Each structure stands twice: as structure tokens, then as C-alpha cells.
A and B are shown apart, each in its own frame.
Chain A
């Protein structure tokens, strides 16, 4: 299995631009998670989906952030407009939830975002 795939691996953009991060979960997994990692705040859960439906988006910092999962094999995290404080490594993870309970989360390699 290819594991969780994220793209791009690195993104450098200017303040005010739109940024779209992409994730392909492991085939057969039905839960998908977006995390943000910074030195100051550590690893934070932004949002997660079950069967393509957003379950908990309480970690999304503000309205500039949005996430979608149009099908079981693809998700996006969008920041519009981007700000320098959004600079971080963004991870996507997937897992198989059985009878409503989740198993191990498998992480992608991350996207390092730098907003100038």
C-alpha cells in the first residue's frame, strides 16, 4: 500500500494568496484527519471526517480555513486568504473506524507551508 499521500510536500506563498493542500487516504479507510504542527502549539487536530462527512471541525482556527472530502479517496484543506501565522506543517491521517470506533491513525509525510 502506498500509504497516505499528501501534496504538495512544500508550499511557499505570499500573504493573501489561496492555498490548497491535498490528501489521498489509504484505500479502504473511512476516517480522515487534518492536523497542524507548529513549534509553539505542537500537534493540533483541525478537523476529521467519517465516511466523507465532517464530524468535528472544532479545531479549525477560523473562517479562513475550510476542508472538504468529496469522495472516499480525496480531501482538501484550503486557506483563503493565507497569513504568515498559518506557516506550519500540515498532516493528513487516515484510519479504519469499525462499529464507530477508530483504529490506528496512519499519517502522511506532511505539507510544509510557508506564508511570506
Chain B
């Protein structure tokens, strides 16, 4: 069925390190893809999205490119900060009108100073 698979965590990096969190999806067609971030004690917030193949979503230094050839949407950031510590969720749209979201299991990221 339709699913989203994320790189398992937790991930621990030092400040200013390069970040990649892998995400792959199974789908029929070309669903919209999303990265959400959840800070401690809060709800999820949209970080970035891409609605069609080859689109690149970007926000706050994070980027992800919609790769239909590899069915992937990997999240990257060139230089992470302590404030980036959070749980990151990859998601794809699903269902009638693409209103449902299917989430990956989440990847906990900790950045040490």
C-alpha cells in the first residue's frame, strides 16, 4: 500500500554539521510531499513541501527535492544549529483530493553545541 519510510533515528550531530534525513515513498501517481517538524511539547509545523516531480522545497536553510526516479524526498541542511533539534516527519498526500497525509515514523534529531 501507500507508505512513507524514513531513516531511522535518533540522529545526533555537532553544530554546523551537514544533515541528511532520508525519506522514500510508495505511491501511484505523483503525490505532494512534505516535511513537518515537531519541537518538544508542540504540534507539527510544515517545514517545506513539493507538489510535483523535480520541485525543490526550501525553508530555514532546509531543502528537499522531489525525485520521482528514486521515489525519494530527502531532507538536507548544510549547517545545522542547536535550535534545529526536533523530530522531523516526512509525509505524502493521499486519498480523494489528496487531503489525507501519510506520515513516516519520524526522525529525532539532536544537535550538540
Which residues of A from 35 to 64 have beta carbons under 8 Å from B?
42-43, 45, 48, 50, 55-56
Contact count A vs B, C-beta below 8 Å: 54
> Given known contacts A42-B103, A104-B46, what 14 new A-B pairs fall within 8 Å (CB)?
A4-B43, A42-B105, A43-B89, A45-B101, A45-B102, A48-B99, A55-B99, A93-B43, A102-B99, A104-B34, A105-B101, A107-B36, A109-B41, A109-B43
Which residues of B from 79 to 108 have beta carbons under 8 Å from A?
89, 93, 95-106
Given the known interface contacts A42-B106, A102-B93, A104-B49, the answer about A95 and B99 at a Cβ–Cβ threshold of 8 Å is yes
Instruction: Closest A residue to B104 by CB, please name it.
Output: A42
Bound complex: CA A42 to CA B5 (Å): 12
Q: How large is the interface on A (under 10, 10 to 19, 20 to 34, 35 or more residues)?
A: 20 to 34
Q: Is the CB of A110 within 8 A of B43?
A: yes
- Interface residues of chain A: helix, strand, loop or mixed (majority): strand
Instruction: Closest A residue to B101 by CB, please name it.
Output: A105
Bound complex: CA A55 to CA B97 (Å): 11
Q: Is the CB of A105 within 8 A of B97?
A: no
Which residues of B from 20 to 48 have beta carbons under 8 Å from A?
34, 36, 41-46
User: What are the interface flags for A46-85 relative to B under an 8 Å C-beta threshold, 1 for contact and 0 otherwise?
Assistant: 0010100001100000000000000000000000000000
Instruction: Closest A residue to B36 by CB, please name it.
Output: A107
List chain B residues, Cβ under 8 A from A106: 46
List chain A residues, Cβ under 8 A from B97: 97, 100-102
Give the 9 A-B residue pairs with the shortest CB-CB distance, closest first.
A107-B43, A102-B99, A100-B97, A107-B44, A43-B103, A42-B105, A101-B97, A104-B46, A109-B43
Task: Pick the contact of B96: A33, A100, A109 (CB < 8 A).
Answer: A100
